[in-house]
Amino acid sequence: MTEETPGFEEKPDVPSGAEPDDAAEAAETPSTEEGPAAPAGDVSQTAGLTAQLDQLRSALSERTADLQRLQAEYQNYRRRVERDRVTVKEIAVATLLTELLPVLDDVGRAREHGELVGGFKSVAESLETVVAKMGLQQFGKEGEPFDPTIHEALMHSYAPDVTETTCVAILQPGYRIGERTIRPARVAVAEPQPGAAPAAKEEKSADEESGAPEEG
């Protein structure tokens, strides 16, 4: 029989070169192996980059809107300046031509009396050409209907041969620049004689009755 020595215990086999503590840890560690887990730092870094990208996109949208608004304001400013420049030019031209109207009236009267001859005629024609190039237009003719927006009546009478208020004489021609009247035409007007229109209607109705066929 084999006798057991008191106080002696059997120990597990230990690989050569391994320390006793390493063998104990190897015995306690489970043999199941797990795959590597994603580091938590990478997830937080991705979330931070996404937030920064959203902020940049928002800032870009705001700057783009600001630039579009500034461009629109600049375009409105340019149009307003151009409109004001044209208006100032028209006012300056109208003021100058208004000062020349008495000279043009003298030229017209001289032409009516046959006094527009020689060098005076050449100067007058040159002046009329220049003011025409600047946009000045003369208006007002005998026989046209009276329009209070462009005519100024200085004389008034009645005439049997008119059916409405008519300009029968042009005392001073009117002038305009484009659609802007700088002086109305000063005219003498004639209106139909009171009662003339009803009389004409009665005469017309009498003619119609006399021309009607007689019934047998």
Please work out, in degrees rounded to the nearest 5, the angle formed at the alpha carbon of residue 194 by the alpha carbons of 190 and 196.
95
| Distance separating alpha carbons of residues 156 and 190, to the nearest angstrom | 6
Q: Which residue has the higher pLDDT, 2 or 146?
A: 146
pLDDT, one tens digit per residue, over 48-71 is 888 888 888 889 999 999 999 999
Domain 137-199: CATH architecture, name and number where available: Roll (2.30)
Q: Where are the alpha helices (DSSP H) in the chain?
A: 20-28, 40-112, 118-133, 196-210
pLDDT, one tens digit per residue, over 137-193 is 999 999 999 999 999 999 999 998 899 999 999 999 999 998 899 999 999 999 998
**Domain residue spans in the chain?**
51-134, 137-199
